[in-house]
Amino acid sequence: MRSAYLTLEDFFTVRLRRWQRPHLLRLIGPGPETRILDVGGGTGAATSAYTAGSREVVILEPSRKKVDHGRRQRSGIRFAEGTAEEIPFPDGSFDRVVSLASFHHFRDQARGLREIHRVLNEGGRLVIFDVDPGTSQGKVSRFFENDVMGNGCTFSDPARTRDLAVGAGFAEVSVQPVGPGYFLSASKAPAPAQ
């Protein structure tokens, strides 16, 4: 993947996703004490739009090319190479975990959500945005990713993603359909007192 191509992709990512920003700021609520992990964050173009003022921003991304490009472009963000299914951080490392347009790429979504739950601290929050396969854009995305690109993506509808989040141990799971997709937010409940 050429660097010029990634720069162009960054530009369109930011422009096309501007409408998401108010939703993300409300759901994530970044602050000076907030540590945020963006799973499948690519080069960080979208990440920068909703993490300003946070204590720490980390992108976990499996593509080495995207990680290298992101490191060159965005010195304020820490990048780590890896996947949702095996997050290379200790338990309770983050206050927020965000996954934008990457959940359908997870090879094992249930395992990815369990890993996200593990690295959140108690009271921490997960925010997902993904396209809904029931919408026309969802159908186009599925066709493009799977039939054209052969990426073998799993586009879960909002109800299935909610069930998977509950199965991974999340509480206060709520889903909000917006445009071509949906936001899911959920929290990690404090462990019951012994």
Ligand X SMILES: C[S@@+](CC[C@H](N)C(=O)[O-])C[C@H]1O[C@@H](n2cnc3c(N)ncnc32)[C@H](O)[C@@H]1O
Contacts of 170 (CB under 8 A, 6+ apart): 113, 117, 126, 186, 187, 188
Work out how close the CB of 86 gets to ligand X at its nearest, in angstroms, rounded to a whole number. Answer: 9
- Which residue lies nearer to ligand X by CB, 84 or 122? 84
- Which residue lies nearer to ligand X by CB, 62 or 169? 62
Residue 191 per-residue DSSP state: P
DSSP string over 73-89: H-TTSEEEE-BTTB--S
- Which residue lies nearer to ligand X by CB, 18 or 194? 18
Residue recorded with tokens 């949906």: 182
Residue recorded with tokens 């509808």: 157
Work out how close the CB of 51 gets to ligand X at its nearest, in angstroms, rounded to a whole number. Answer: 12
- Residue ranges in contact with ligand X by CB under 6 A: 13, 39-42, 46, 61-63, 66, 83-85, 100-102, 105-107
Work out how close the CB of 161 gets to ligand X at its nearest, in angstroms, rounded to a whole number. Answer: 15
